[in-house]
Amino acid sequence: EAAVTQSPRSKVAVTGGKVTLSCHQTNNHDYMYWYRQDTGHGLRLIHYSYVADSTEKGDIPDGYKASRPSQENFSLILELASLSQTAVYFCASSDELRSQNTLYFGAGTRLSVL
Amino acid sequence: QQKVQQSPESLIVPEGGMASLNCTSSDRNVDYFWWYRQHSGKSPKMLMSIFSNGEKEEGRFTVHLNKASLHTSLHIRDSQPSDSALYLCAASMNYGSSGNKLIFGIGTLLSVKP
């Protein structure tokens, strides 16, 4: 079974503070993704990476940075957290999306910014 | 504008009934389509994928794809209360040197009433 582990599982942060969400995968996958989920918006792609030491912007990258120091680890960084960043964040990994490959999601991180 | 549109936003069907969900992409860079299912409080899991024109059946679930119109649909026959979940359509888009990215629709919330 493919494994993607997110930490922390939940976090309360103050407005203007720095938040780091971590993701670790043991699937030997090249691709890793960060999505946020809000009611009425489905899953929206923030950043993704298909190789270590390189990241790509997704559809809503503003206010977020990403870091991929190794194939296994992918972090999402909120330098100055804002109220609008309250959401559930999912990390996922996959092989290249060329055939039957699927995304494997972590359990999610519930972030509340106060 | 959402690159992946789903309809309806919510759907109620009686137990044993047929549920039909639709998904269309407006982006000609789409390579493939997937359907994911997300039960309340859980992370999404891949339900079915389809890459070629036509139909694919797995048990009570049938997926159709029309690549020319970039339209896919998911049909669930003999719906069960355990099928109640958020159904997410996803499309992979290839932007050349930036690799593939998977874009999700808002989802269809299915409720199966006993």
- Residues from chain B that touch A107, judged by Cβ atoms under 8 A, are 43
Is it the case that residue A99 has pLDDT exceeding 60? Answer: no
Q: pLDDT tens across A28-70, in order?
A: 999 999 999 997 678 999 999 989 999 999 989 999 999 999 9
Closest C-alpha among B87, B50, B100 to residue A45: B100
For chain B, give the percent of residues with pLDDT over 90.
Answer: 73
> Chain A residue with minimal CA distance to B50?
A100
The C-alpha atoms of residue B84 and residue A106 are separated, in whole angstroms, by 21
pLDDT at B95: 67
- The reply to whether B99 touches chain A by the CB within 8 Å rule is yes
- Could you tell me the pLDDT band of residue B98, with boundaries at 50, 70 and 90? low
Per cent of chain A over pLDDT 70 is: 93
On chain A, the residues whose CB falls within 8 A of the CB of B49 are 100, 102
Chain B closest-CA separation from residue A54 CA (Å): 10
Q: Select from A89, A103, A105 the least CA-distant residue to A8.
A: A89
Q: In A, which residues are within 8 Å of B103 by CB distance?
A: 45, 59
Hey, is B44 helix, strand or coil? Answer: coil
Contact A108 B92 (CB under 8 A): no
Q: Is the dihedral of CA B25, B29, B35, B38 positive or negative?
A: negative
Strand A109-113 to A10-13 pairing = parallel
Query: Which residues of chain A make contact with B36, given a CB cutoff of 8 A?
Result: 103
Q: Rounded to a whole number, what is the distance in Å from the CA of A12 to chain B's nearest CA?
A: 18
Q: 3-class SS at A85?
A: helix
**Closest chain A CA to residue B92:** A97
To the nearest whole angstrom, how far is the Cα of B80 from the nearest Cα of chain A?
A: 23
Q: Does B49 touch chain A (CB under 8 A)?
A: yes
| Cα separation, A60 vs A76, whole angstroms | 13
Pairing state of beta strands B10-14 and B108-113? parallel
Question: B61-82 pLDDT, tens per residue?
Answer: 999 999 899 999 999 999 999 9
Looking at the predicted structure, is the pLDDT value of residue A100 above 70?
A: no
